[in-house]
Amino acid sequence: MRISDRLPDHPDFLWADAEPRKSYDVVVIGGGGHGLATAYYLAAHHGITNVAVLEKGWLAGGNMARNTTIIRSNYLWDESAGIYEHSLKLWETLEDELDTQVLFSQRGVLNLAHNLADVREGKRRVNANQLNGLDAQWLSPEEIGKLVPILDVSDRPRHPVVGGTFQPRAGIAKHDYVAWGFARAAHALGVDIVQNCEVTGFQTSGDTVMAVETSRGTIGCGKVALAAAGHTAVLAGHLGVRLPLQSHPLQALVSELLEQVLDTVVMSNAVHVYVSQAHKGELVMGAGVDAHVGYGQRGSFHVIEEQMAAAVELFPIFGRAHVLRTWAGIVDVTPDASPIVGTLPFDNAFVNCGWGTGGFKATPGVGSVYADTVAHGRPHELAAPFALDRFTTGRLIDEHGAAAVAH
């Protein structure tokens, strides 16, 4: 008996790989988490099913496959707490919504403080979070030691742990399952998912975008919604719009599979590392962005080196682990470290970008908010503060303190 005869049949495909049609009511550009979620909510909650998601590579092969899957909502400002907590609430019911597993694990996220400035920022953020009804707490080093026994909370490290913020409802999810879940559910409602379809330009008439030019032909659009993360500035350039974005490589890595030793997500902005342990057992770690503008999906090794030094200092037990794989995604960073969600200066063009290093957590939240914005042609109330014109009016939403390098 041949081995292949003993193997199970290939499972059914979760979605069909569509040929692009001549036109759609809504063309979503970008087949990552945000684009797929937006298409799903357009179809499921707004009855707009004549929708295409155009992806230049393969489905969810960009930042959706390259992030560290951290989900939290403990941001400083009211506007941020609004949209991120909306997203966290959707994560809590996402498996029912999509009728699929996403392995959302609310294991808590700990943000470490290493100095007086960190303590002040952290306590201020906990207070702001509590005023917004979020489950934020301040923990002492002793409490942190009990929560994460493998973390060195003595005064030995170069940057000792002097406290930390904790959000118990935060956690991680399985990024592929999230993308596949949205793709399957969107496809079942009639959405076309078109892979290997790169957008190369737009046809406009006055203030209206008539069609999208792609590597697979011209596709007419009733509305067009950008959801292309690091490549949004390039797309907006085709529309003649300049956006306040800088695209940077953001690196992450995994270790080999290890026994479960860490059941909390631990982040440290001061020493530039964040770490969790995936369900299979690999340690998943991220760092800050590489400083320079880059689209090459690779970063410099010294960034990884500094991140590992910080991780081993905090977690001596990691000293014998091995780096299995490193990679980078291209993240689009705004001047105030907050996203841009809303309208472009056209009658029927919309933008969702600038999520920088922290877009994964927002996937269901921004999917629902952006779909509502596109469906009704005006910003959803949670998106309104994140409009592009805030850079002219000065109403910035400065999350550098709360977001810092780690998102």
Q: Which stretch binds another protein (CB under 8 A): 54-62, 174-182, 184-192, 389-397?
A: 389-397
Residues 6+ apart with CB under 8 A from 131: none
Whether residue 340 contacts residue 386, with contact meaning beta carbons closer than 8 Å, is answered with yes
Q: Does 72 bind another protein (CB under 8 A)?
A: no
Do 263 and 46 form a contact (C-beta atoms < 8 A)?
Answer: no
Of the two residues 52 and 239, which places its CB atom closer to another protein in the complex? Answer: 239
Q: Give the residues across from 220 on adjacent strands.
A: 23, 211
Can you spell out the DSSP letters for 322-388? -EEEEEEEEEEE-TTS--EEEE-SSSSEEEEE--TT--GGGHHHHHHHHHHHHHHTS--TTTGGG-T
Q: Nearer Cβ to another protein, position 23 or 297?
A: 297
Instruction: Find the Cα–Cα–Cα–Cα dihedral 120, 126, 128, 129, rounded to 10°.
Output: 160
Single out the residue of 93, 301, 347, 395 in contact with another protein (rule: CB under 8 A).
301
**Among candidate residues 47, 88, 56, the one with its CA nearest the CA of residue 215:** 56
Q: Give the residue, chosen from 49, 195, 300, 326, that forms a contact with another protein under the rule CB under 8 A.
A: 300
Q: Is 61 in the site for another protein (CB under 8 A)?
A: no
Which of 32, 288, 294, 356 touches another protein (CB under 8 A)?
294
Task: Tell me the C-alpha distance between 77 and 333, whole Å.
Answer: 18
Task: Report the alpha-carbon distance of residue 364 to residue 63 in Å, rounded.
Answer: 15
Question: By rule CB under 8 A, what count of residues binds another protein?
Answer: 22
User: Does 391 interact with another protein (rule: CB under 8 A)?
Assistant: yes
Measured from the CB atom, the residue of 42 and 233 that comes closer to another protein is 233
168 touching another protein, by CB under 8 A: no
Pairing of strands 199-205, 208-214: antiparallel
Q: Does 293 bind another protein (CB under 8 A)?
A: yes
Least distance between another protein and beta carbon 71 (Å): 28
By CB under 8 A, which span of 39-47, 120-128, 256-264, 295-303 interacts with another protein?
Answer: 295-303
Q: How far is the CB of 389 from another protein (least distance, A)?
A: 9
Neighbours of 158 (CB within 10 A): 9
Helices 33-46 and 175-188 pack at an angle, to 10 degrees, of 40
Does residue 335 belong to the site contacting another protein (CB under 8 A)?
yes
User: Of residues 146, 279, 280, 292, which one binds another protein by CB under 8 A?
Assistant: 292
Helix (H) or strand (E) holding 234: helix 232-238
What are the tokens at 48?
């707009």
| Residue 58 is a binding residue for another protein (CB under 8 A) | no
Which of 65, 7, 19, 83 is CA-nearest to residue 372? 83
Does position 156 interact with another protein (CB under 8 A)? The reply is no
CB of 407 to another protein, least distance (A): 19
Closer residue to another protein (CB): 294 or 367:
294
Q: Smallest distance from the beta carbon of 397 to another protein, in angstroms?
A: 13
| Residue 291 touching another protein (CB under 8 A) | yes
CB of 45 to another protein, least distance (A): 33
Give the residue, chosen from 120, 215, 256, 295, that forms a contact with another protein under the rule CB under 8 A: 295
Give the end-to-end CA distance of the chain in Å, rounded to a whole number.
Answer: 52
Name residues contacting another protein, limited to 228-257 (CB under 8 A): 231, 233-234, 242-247
Segment interacting with another protein, rule: CB under 8 A, options 20-28, 96-104, 227-235, 350-358 = 227-235
Structure tokens at 364: 């269901």
Q: Which residues bind another protein (CB under 8 A)?
A: 231, 233-234, 242-247, 291-296, 300-302, 335, 391-393
